[in-house]
Structure 1
Amino acid sequence: MIEILTSTALNTVQDFGRPQAMSLGVSWGGAMDRSALALGNILLGNPADAAGIEVAFFPFRIRFLEERSFSITGAQCHASLDNLSLPANWAITAKAGQILTCGALEKGCRVYICVEGGLDVPIVFGARATDLKAALGGYHGRGLQRNDHIPCGPRTLSLPAGGYGLTCPPPLPERGSVTVHALAAAEYHDFTPESRARFFSQPWRITSQANRAGYRLEGDPLRRASDRELFSHGIMPGTVQIPPSGQPIIQLADANTMGGYPKIATVIESDLRLLAQAPIGASVFFHEIDIDAAVQRQRDTVRQFQDNTMKFSELRGSLIPWKQKK
């Protein structure tokens, strides 16, 4: 069991979400950076989609109430276990009473803390993920608060002293900008040729109106060639809508399942993790891609993921030994 020592609505229990429940009007949800959550679980021998903590507000502190192995992945932050500094993308065993602190960020936006056996919170609509809008899943359907006590699954792992990490974690975007690949969407040709060209050429700034549901962007506005009305239609994470203001909205993990704004593009699934790690104020560049290239990039991502989810005993061959962070 672990004890939460920091209160904030932004830090939540997440897994891979509820894609199978979208037909019921339930958001996909789950970790914004699923690759980071999967990596953290792989380091511990957990299923890749085991529930962990998504940390988006810092500093964040937890106390281990029993001896328990854990990992820290995703964004790079000043992390320590009591007075021991921890490298990024690392797994180590904490003794009962030790405190993990995730301090100031160095790169990226979201840190993932996974524990041996996963977090043992109730399964709702097929997942343990927290849906803040619907107040379901996770730990009582809300963000984590000081004095919360979260149970963990059974212990199954024995780590070497000092722990270990992987040599090649997924790259993080630079703090100033991020480039993502996107497909033209259903209403792409409703926009003027100038607007279509501008969408894929100019930088778009992530505004302060950015959360797990979506990012509002800012740049030279886009205009439609016609003002035809649209019925509400299905949307999903990655959908880029253009409201009357002409400023794009990228739908993300906790997006609604329906919306009526025209869709100009869809960010491919494998690039959503880059948006999850891009901070407010960063510039987003959209790179146009066709369906064949998008499918190949997704296949490459799945293949890499499958390579990383080999049996844990085989994975140890790619681990690097402990070295105290200076």
Structure 2
Amino acid sequence: MQNIRSGGVRMGIKILTPGMFTTVQDGGRKGYQSSGFSPAGVMDTRSYRIANLLVDNDADEAVLEIMMLGPSIEFGEDEVIAVTGAPVDPRINERPVSMNRALQVKRGDILKFGYPKTGRYAYIAFAGGLDIQMVMGSRSTHTKSLMGGFRGGRLEAGALIRLRNPRKRLRRMNKRDLSDWSETYKDGAVKASSELLRVILGPQDDYFTKEGMVTFLNAEYKVDVDSDRMGYRLSGEPVEAKQGVDILSDGIAFGAVQITPEGQPIIMLADRQTTGGYAKIANVISVDIPRLVQLRTNEKVKFTACSVEVGQRLYRAQQEEFERIKNERFG
């Protein structure tokens, strides 16, 4: 990475302050779990997709993922960006700017963020993409293995990142606003009601008693403080197993719900290990994971069962909606 230089062609961005936990992420490192490599990738796939839509990037383009408190960024050239996800109060040169729309920034501008009242993760997309080396088909950061992203870890003050193909303006610039379609986060530190997550039961739901299954699908669980990009631990009424939850280790999908020996659910997420030895009672469907990952400590979830066919139909409908918006609003 080279320094930002006035008069250069690809001058990019400089991280002035890094924020709480800011990393480079994309759609994840697919196809390598069988070799022991975690996929990593963004937590909130919906906000991520919206960010790239707004700046006319490919769907899988790398972004900066912000966790809670965002970085301060200086721009080394005129660029187009978008900020989506949790309401992080973005400001350019101390003036508030809107989320969920394309924004033009000038060389020398400084982007800062506030602390969100709700939600955890926000995303910054840059038109033209970040100039980050691909590692095994992805630019995503997996901090535990020091793989990918910017030097394998969270961004630090002074980090310099260029853009591959920076763009000063996009077609239909005034139409690139998805405020009416983006996820709405309610004000308040803790939601009063539970977030209802749809799950597909299995593959080891037969490890649990009938009473245990009733508990899982009716009890309310709180997000534990010991939750991160690897997984969200939940606390609540224990789920009863027939004869323990230990299994021969097998693969873990995004959103898999393991049950610990104490009967507590853990939902495995972007930085999950590739295999696990606890029985998986269910898997959160793809379209509901973005709502899950935006929950904070002590916020509540409940589970309801749905079929594979329903999960697939909802996923296809979401993808079709992304394409419709891309073609009708921005095409």
Task: Give the TM-score, by structure 2 length.
Answer: 0.89
**1:65 Cα shift?**
1.3
Q: 1:106 aligns with which of 117, 121, 139?
A: 117
Give the direction of change, closer, same or farther, for the CA distance of 1:42–1:228 in structure 2 (3 Å limit): closer
- Any idea what SS the aligned residue of 1:216 has? strand
Residue 165 of structure 1 pairs with residue 177 of structure 2:
yes
**1:57 Cα shift?**
3.4
Which structure 1 residue ranges, 5 or more long, are not aligned?
318-326
Q: Is the 8 A contact 1:172 1:277 kept in 2?
A: no
Q: Is the 8 A contact 1:70 1:93 kept in 2?
A: yes
Alignment of 1:189-228 (within 5 A): 189-227=206-244
Residue 41 of structure 1 pairs with residue 27 of structure 2:
no
**1:163 Cα shift?**
8.6
Q: Is the 8 A contact 1:107 1:172 kept in 2?
A: no
Give the direction of change, closer, same or farther, for the CA distance of 1:305–1:153 in structure 2 (3 Å limit): same
Residue 230 of structure 1 pairs with residue 243 of structure 2:
no
Q: Is the 8 A contact 1:236 1:256 kept in 2?
A: no
Residue 31 of structure 1 pairs with residue 45 of structure 2:
no
- Any idea what SS the aligned residue of 1:244 has? coil
Q: Which residue of 2 aligns with 1:95?
A: 106
Question: Distance in 1 between the 2:232 and 2:245 partners?
Answer: 25
Counterpart amino acid of 2:151?
A: H
Q: Deviations over 1:125-157 (max 9, x none)?
A: 100010111111100000001010011121245
Q: Which residue of 2 aligns with 1:269?
A: 286
Counterpart amino acid of 1:165?
A: D
Counterpart amino acid of 1:201?
A: N
Give the direction of change, closer, same or farther, for the CA distance of 1:190–1:77 in structure 2 (3 Å limit): same
**1:107 Cα shift?**
3.2
Counterpart amino acid of 1:18?
A: R
- Any idea what SS the aligned residue of 2:115 has? strand
What's the % identity of the aligned pairs? Answer: 32
- Any idea what SS the aligned residue of 1:232 has? strand
Q: Which residue of 1 aligns with 2:7?
A: none
Question: Distance in 1 between the 2:246 and 2:40 partners?
Answer: 29
Q: Which residue of 2 aligns with 1:321?
A: none
Q: Which residue of 1 aligns with 2:67?
A: 56
- Any idea what SS the aligned residue of 2:213 has? helix
- Any idea what SS the aligned residue of 2:87 has? strand
Which structure 2 residue ranges, 5 or more long, are not aligned?
1-11
Q: Which residue of 2 aligns with 1:322?
A: none
Counterpart amino acid of 1:293?
A: V
Q: Which runs of 4+ in 1 moved over 6 A?
A: 160-163
Q: Which residue of 2 aligns with 1:323?
A: none
Question: Distance in 2 between the 1:11 and 1:83 partners?
Answer: 20
Q: Which residue of 1 aligns with 2:297?
A: 280
Q: Is the 8 A contact 1:218 1:247 kept in 2?
A: yes
**1:63 Cα shift?**
0.8
Q: 2:204 aligns with which of 169, 178, 187?
A: 187
Question: Distance in 2 between the 1:234 and 1:61 partners?
Answer: 38
Counterpart amino acid of 2:306?
A: I
Q: Which residue of 1 aligns with 2:146?
A: 135
Q: Deviations over 1:15-62 (max 9, x none)?
A: 100122222211121110122111111111111211110000314211
Report the aligned-residue RMSD: 1.9
Q: Which residue of 2 aligns with 1:301?
A: 318
Residue 74 of structure 1 pairs with residue 88 of structure 2:
no
- Any idea what SS the aligned residue of 1:166 has? coil
Q: Is the 8 A contact 1:45 1:157 kept in 2?
A: no
If each structure's strand is expressed as a fraction of its own residues, which one has the higher value? 1
Counterpart amino acid of 1:315?
A: R
Q: 1:22 aligns with which of 20, 33, 48?
A: 33
Question: Distance in 1 between the 2:181 and 2:241 partners?
Answer: 41
- Any idea what SS the aligned residue of 1:273 has? helix
Q: Is the 8 A contact 1:11 1:57 kept in 2?
A: no
| Corresponding pairs, count | 314
**1:233 Cα shift?**
0.8
Q: Is the 8 A contact 2:19 2:69 kept in 1?
A: no
**1:173 Cα shift?**
5.7
**1:246 Cα shift?**
0.8
Q: Is the 8 A contact 2:68 2:116 kept in 1?
A: no
Give the direction of change, closer, same or farther, for the CA distance of 1:141–1:38 in structure 2 (3 Å limit): same
200-209 or 227-236: which moved more?
A: 227-236
